[in-house]
A and B are shown apart, each in its own frame.
Chain A
Amino acid sequence: NAGVTQTPKFRVLKTGQSMTLLCAQDMNHEYMYWYRQDPGMGLRLIHYSVGEGTTAKGEVPDGYNVSRLKKQNFLLGLESAAPSQTSVYFCASSTGHGAQIGYTFGSGTRLTVV
């Protein structure tokens, strides 16, 4: 009954370092998403995937890469972290995009880049 699980929960990076955030869902959802949440700006879509092996850019994709090698996992990578990427990152999943379909969110990863 885990839903959407994100690891790690907290991380501090130095500028220029790289890291990967992992999102795992156990609901057999086709669609997965990465959002970032910044004060006063609401959540914004970084990248998303509509199925295993697919990825697409969202509203703010620059500086990030993603991979969906397995249906249940969606990875978000930062190749060279910048202070502007300090944020809270949320992963979400859904079964599709019909009118009755809602999103399920993970608990977030708080990333600080110094």
Chain B
Amino acid sequence: KQEVTQIPAALSVPEGENLVLNCSFTDSAIYNLQWFRQDPGKGLTSLLLIQSSQREQTSGRLNASLDKSSGRSTLYIAASQPGDSATYLCAVRPRTGANNLFFGTGTRLTVIP
């Protein structure tokens, strides 16, 4: 069974700092990996999707990378802002039994003004 781990579980940084969130997964046979943002009491907002054939995706201040062979992905946030405070979840879609996403438990980010 695919297992997804996110480290650290929580992170607190001062405003303006660049930061990296980590995601690792145990089975490299994936269709894609998706990063989501979840605000307290809210649903999931998709940030970036990286297909298995891709190495990275960028959207504004966000950059996600994928190293499928080592089972790792990183989400880089540049020039962090208080509005970036949220929980960030990564999820992988495996190639086998592909009607499911396997989620990590998330990294709770706090950006201090």
**Which of the four size classes fits the interface of chain A?**
20 to 34
Residue A102 CB within 8 A of the other chain? yes
**Which of the segments B13-21, B70-78, B97-105 contacts the partner chain?**
B97-105
CB-based contact A43/B103 at 8 Å: yes
For window 72-113 of B, CB contacts with A under 8 Å fall at 89, 91, 93, 98-106
CB-based contact A48/B100 at 8 Å: yes
CB-based contact B101/A45 at 8 Å: yes
Main secondary structure of the interface of B (DSSP, over half): strand
Residue A62 CB within 8 A of the other chain? no
CB-based contact B99/A48 at 8 Å: yes
**Chain B nearest Cβ from A87, distance in angstroms:** 14
Residue A112 CB within 8 A of the other chain? no
CB-based contact B52/A99 at 8 Å: yes
CB-based contact B103/A103 at 8 Å: no
Q: Which of B34, B42, B91, B93 contacts A108 (CB 8 A)?
A: B42
Residue B28 CB within 8 A of the other chain? no
Residue A12 CB within 8 A of the other chain? no
Q: Which residue of B lies closest to A110 (CB)?
A: B41
CB-based contact A106/B51 at 8 Å: no
| Interface residues in chain B, defined as those with a beta carbon under 8 Å from any beta carbon in chain A | 4, 31-32, 34, 36, 41-46, 49, 51-53, 89, 91, 93, 98-106
Please name 8 pairs of A and B residues whose Cβ atoms are closer than 8 Å in the assembled complex, sorted by A: A42-B103, A43-B101, A45-B101, A58-B100, A99-B52, A100-B32, A107-B43, A110-B41
6 tightest A-B contacts by CB? A107-B43, A42-B103, A105-B44, A99-B51, A43-B103, A102-B49
